Amino acid sequence: MNQTACQGASFVVTDGPSRRRWLLATAGLGGALTLTAVVPFVASLLPSERAKAAGAPVEVDIGTLAPGEMMVVEWRGKPVWILHRTPEMLASLEKAEARLADPGSKAPQQPDYAHNHQRSLKPEYLVAVGICTHLGCSPSKAFEAGDPALGSDWPGGFLCPCHGSTFDFAGRVFKDKPAPTNLEIPPHSYLSDSRLLIGGDTRGQV
């Protein structure tokens, strides 16, 4: 009968079932140690919750967002609106400019590429932080033009239910409202026609 001696160990494993069990246990332990080493390494490659909260960019699929629809995603703990504007929504932007507090978006609350009346990289999409600049309430959709509650000349946009501030389809605030500035535009870029990156742009700005 053969015997296997382990240096520094006080046991002897003989051939047969006991030896096979010992070999299987040794192989299993080695595999477990390897897996234990690999898992933290893989996890280190993934964005942590702390990184997300600190403002890690968020990639969004907008391929199925139809004209007239809006989706909301979270970035830095804030709701970010992504509105696919219709031709009618875009046409309303110029018509509303005389009634806006900052139609050219001169206040430093958006990237340079949003200093236009559409406030966007692509005319058909509005990307804005959905928090009123007055006291932090979240405005609601008031898309219907001529809404009786907002007047027959209402062009459509957003209404803050807390104190009545109104914004157009570019997130620009109307005159004589509590909100002092337009809605914030976060840094963003388009990775493709259907992929949007919020929180950074292709030039590395965050």
CA 88 – CA 68 distance, rounded (Å): 9
Q: CA 206, 66, 174, 177 torsion: positive or negative? A: negative
Active-site residue among 84, 115, 163, 188?
163
Is 188 tagged catalytic? no
Rounded to an integer, what distance in angstroms lies between the CA atom of residue 22 and that of residue 25?
A: 5
Q: What is the C-alpha separation between 39 and 18, in angstroms, rounded? A: 32
Q: Which two tokens stand for residue 70?
A: 């809006």
Contact 55, 75 (CB under 8 A): yes
Distance of CA 58 to the CA centre of its chain: 4
> Do 31 and 23 meet the contact criterion of CB atoms below 8 Å apart?
no
The string of DSSP letters for 9-52 reads -S-EEETTHHHHHHHHHHHHHHHHHHHHHHHHHHHHTSPPHHHH
Q: Which two tokens stand for residue 17?
A: 């079932």
Residues labelled catalytic? 163
